[in-house]
Chain A
Amino acid sequence: MTKTAERRYTYEDLSGLLSLMSGDEKHGPAATSTLDALWVLYDRVLRVTPGRVDDPERDRFLLSKGHGPMAYYAVLAAKGFVPVEWLPAFGSYDSPLGHHPDRVLVPGAEIGSGSLGHGLPIAVGTALGLRAQGLHEPAVWVLVGDAELDEGSNHEAIAYAGPAGLDRLHTVVIDNSSASYARPGGIAARFEAAGWSVESVDGRDHEALYAAFTAPHPGRPRVVVAQVEPKSA
């Protein structure tokens, strides 16, 4: 049996890991809308490893958009947080890996999600909690979907975090045009109006994602809107 810890997985391996869960060789855009952003974060940006999941100094990544978590599990498996052997049982009664992640069951998952609009407010509290303990290094990241931003709870968090100057807070919006009511540029505009540092990038371009994820944003929270293929395309 392949030991996860002994093997180094690359981006090219993720499709095979997804196949262990889906049973299909090919994956549509919906299943992989988050895959590139997740990979760049876990591969090059987040300061967290399987050995540091309880380290107060680790970066926190909160998957708020809990729907379609196969890409998340694939990345967690590739990076050794969960055993690759867990993947084939995805969604079954005895599997820790459900169709929405549960932080109590999944090593490395900072939150459980599924009901939309919970991650950003929790991320705000996480950033506040770290600051209150003098932990100024760890970054807090939360990933949301464009349609998830329909939920008003997000707007409570966005409107608070900007004026509060939570500069350790980072949001990635995966924009696959799945909101029924939206205007061009509306997502960036809402964050911008609340005082966030904003950048929109091609959500499939790893270098562009990396540059956007690592750009300085002193005194302000940061949002990266990662545009991918429309869900309905």
Chain B
Amino acid sequence: MDTMRDRFAPVVSRLLDEDPRVAVVLAEIGMADFEETRTRHPDRVINVGIREQLLVGAGAGLALTGLRPVVHTFASFLVERPFEQVKLDLGHQGVGAVLVSAAASFDWPAGGYTHMAPGDVALLDTLDGWTVHVPGHPDEAETLLRQAVAAGDDKVYVRLSVQSNAEALPVDGSRFLTVREGRAGVVVAVGPMLDGVLAATEGLDVTVLYATTVRPFDAATLRRATETAGTDAVLVEPYLAGTSTSAANDALADLPHRVLALGVGRRELRRYGQIAEHVAAHGLGAGSLRTRIGEFLRAGAGAQS
């Protein structure tokens, strides 16, 4: 199967053809995939070299002139390195952009920690007004990229990953989907965590929600799910564990509830290897998820009896 990143250049190239407002800004990474498009749109396919502060700042300048910039590089260099540009050049200037990252939390484990960005969504959570899409399949990535570019002058972050689910679902760019219904807990699986969550909760009496748009957080769907499944909630996120804990707590603020946050650990592993090995190391394989979700739900059931 192709990856979400394989879809990025073809989708954005079509958008460049269709919409004269769209411009893509790159810092070398991903440039090869736009060479042909660049001959058609030399002024709207922009490569600033290995200069990520300029990448975001120039994107903001394009937006100030009325364009819709799509800004792309690895998550570490898009959100973390130029974070003040994200905060000020977009947010404070009052302009929008679509930031599209690749490499995610550990898409290239052999590349080591310098190319891992498990904290990207948590960082954006310190800022106001960002929409965050975390697709779980290349088809969903395509849908969400198109929605992001079409979202007026909104600030939108699209987090592409190699990690992916086997099947795409009909995501709508705002709501969580109800994938399974049960009566003894709600598990929110974010993006590429869905397949693991479904395997982990096989035979458990839980509701599984599928989240591909995590900001704004779909509090209404989570609340509705708790009406039948109770207020024990588990979040399974492909980035820093606990990133959405406060959002879930806010959604259930007036109800007694419990939240278990699973995701990528903070501790730097200092390991290379393969994606599957990092999934396992962070306890995000189906077996580990099943153990941890089961223990959490049993503890809750015990407390209530």
**Contact mask A147-161 → B, CB, 8 Å, 1/0?**
000001100110110
25 sample A-B contacts, Cβ–Cβ < 8 Å, listed by A number: A103-B93, A110-B64, A115-B88, A118-B85, A122-B57, A124-B61, A125-B57, A125-B58, A125-B59, A125-B61, A126-B64, A127-B61, A128-B43, A128-B62, A129-B23, A129-B62, A130-B65, A132-B44, A132-B65, A133-B67, A152-B53, A156-B48, A156-B51, A156-B54, A157-B57
Interface bracket on B: 20 to 34
The answer, yes or no, to whether A123 is at the interface (CB within 8 Å) is yes
> What is the number of residues of chain A that contact chain B, defined by CB distance less than 8 Å?
31
**Interface residues of B, Cβ cutoff 8 Å to A:** 20, 23, 25, 43-44, 46, 48-49, 51, 53-54, 56-67, 69, 84-85, 88-89, 92-94
Whether A112 is near chain B, meaning CB under 8 Å from some CB there, is: yes
Contact of B62 among A110, A125, A157 (CB under 8 A): A125
For the complex of A and B, 3 pairs with smallest distance between CB atoms: A125-B61, A121-B57, A129-B65
B61 touches A129 (CB 8 A): yes
Given known A56-B66, A111-B93, contact A122–B61 (CB-CB < 8 A) = yes
Main SS at interface, chain A: helix
Query: Could you say which residues of chain B place their CB within 8 Å of the CB of A110?
Result: 64
Question: Are the C-beta atoms of A104 and B94 separated by less than 8 Å?
Answer: yes
Alpha-carbon distance A56/B92, docked complex (angstroms): 21
Q: Give Cα A160 to B48, complex, Å.
A: 7
Give chain B residues whose Cβ lies under 8 Å from the Cβ of A102.
92
Closest A residue to B82 by CB, please name it: A153
Complex contacts, B88 vs chain A, CB 8 Å: 112, 115, 118
Contact A122 B89 (CB under 8 A): yes
Q: How far is the CA of A130 from the CA of B63 in the complex (A)?
A: 10
Q: Is the CB of A121 within 8 A of B89?
A: yes
A residues less than 8 Å from B69 (CB atoms)? 125
